[in-house]
Amino acid sequence: MTKTSGPLVAILVYDGLCTFEFGCAFEVFGLTRPEMGPNWYRCVTVAAESGVLRAAGGLFVEASQSLPALMEADTIILPGWRGPDARAPAPLVQALRAANGAGKRIVAICGGAFVLAQAGLLEGRRATTHWHHLQKLADRYPGVGVDPQALYIDAGDILTSAGSAAGLDLCLHVVRLDFGAKVANSVARRLVISAHRDGGQAQFVERAIPLPAGTHVGGVMDRIRERLSDDWTVDRMAAVAHVSPRSLHRHFHKMTGMAPGEWLQHERLSAARDLLEETTLSVKAIAARVGLRSDVNFRQVFRQATGLTPTDYRNRFHTRETASTRLTIQG
C-alpha cells in the first residue's frame, strides 16, 4: 500500500451512521490512489461518540481514532446525521467548536448540517441540507441563511451539501480547492460522475416524464454543449429537438428544473470555469468560445453567478492547481 503525506481528512462516524454518505466521503478521500502520487490525502475515521456504533444496513463500525484527533485534521467530514430531531452529544459539539476555532475546515453532508447548527457554527452563514428538511432547518435556526436551491455551499471554513448524492459534488469541490480542476476531474472520471453538476435541488422531480416519440431534447443538449459559441435561441433549440418552443420549455423544466435559456447559461458558465481553471486563454477568448460574446458581458454574468470576477476565479483555482503540481497523475 502506498503511504501518503498529504492533507489529513477525518471522517466522523456515529451510532446510526448514514452508510451512503460515509461511502461518498471515503470513496473520494479514503481510497488508495497510487496514480495521485505520495501527496494524496491521508484519511482516518473518528468516533463521534462512545459505545457500540451501528450503521444503516445492520452493520457495526469501529473508528480508528477518537474526538481529540479532530485537532490534527486539515478537513473534518460529518457524513449525514441520524435525524434532524436527534441531538448531537455534547462532546461532539464541543469538539466541532474547538476545531472550527482552530481553523479546521468542516464539511457536513446532508443532515450533518443540523449538527453544525446545534453547535452554532452556521449562525450568520449560508447553508443547505436535504430538500425534505430545509424548512425545519430554517425554522429552528433563524440565524442560518438556508438556501433551498444549492447542491452545496462553500462558506469558507464551513461547507454544507444537499441530499446524499450532493455529498459527492461537495467532496469533489474540496478536491478542486486542494489540488485543482485537473485532479478533481480525474477523480470524477474514476467515480464515473460529472465533475460539475449544475442546477439546484429543484431539478430532482419525483418521477421522470418520458419524452414523446420523435423528440430529441437530450440530443439537442449534447449538440449545444459541443457548440456553445453558436447563437442558440429557444426557437433554434426547439427546431433541432423537433418540438414546439412551448414543449421545449416543458421538457427542459422536467429534465433540469430550468428553462432552456437558464440551462444554456449554466452550461456556458460551467465551460468557462473549466477553461479558466485549465487553460491560459484570455478572458476575451473564453467569452467567445463559450458563447458569452464580449468580455464585458462575460465578466458581468460570471461575477453575478459566482461572486468572483473571471480573473479572481482563475487566481483562486488555477494557481492552486499550479501550486499542487507536486501531485502528479501517473499514466
pLDDT in tens, 120-162: 999 999 999 998 999 999 999 999 999 888 889 999 899 999 9
Residue 191: per-residue pLDDT:
85
> How many CB atoms sit inside 10 A of residue 62's CB?
9
Q: Which CATH number fits domain 206-256+258-331: 1.10.10.60, 1.10.3720.10, 2.30.29.30, 3.40.640.10?
A: 1.10.10.60
Residue 1: per-residue pLDDT:
52
pTM reported for the whole predicted model: 0.67
Residue 35: per-residue pLDDT:
87
Helix (H, G, I), strand (E, B) or coil at 152: strand
Per-domain boundaries in the chain: 8-191, 206-256+258-331
Identify the segments of the chain with pLDDT beneath 50. Answer: 202-213, 319-331
CATH number attached to the domain at 8-191 = 3.40.50.880
Q: What CA–CA distance (Å, rounded) separates 286 from 259? A: 24
CA 4 to chain centre: 24
Task: Find out whether 106 and 100 touch, Cβ atoms under 8 Å.
Answer: yes
Q: What CA–CA distance (Å, rounded) separates 78 from 89? A: 14
> How many CB atoms sit inside 10 A of residue 50's CB?
11
Cell 429534465 locates to 255
> Hey, what amino acid is at 40?
W
**What number of helices (H) and strands (E) belong to the chain?**
13, 10
Cell 503540481 locates to 325
- 159: cell is 461547507
Residue 200: per-residue pLDDT:
56
Which helix (H) or strand (E) covers residue 107, if one does?
A: strand 105-109
Residue 141: per-residue pLDDT:
96
Residue 70: per-residue pLDDT:
98
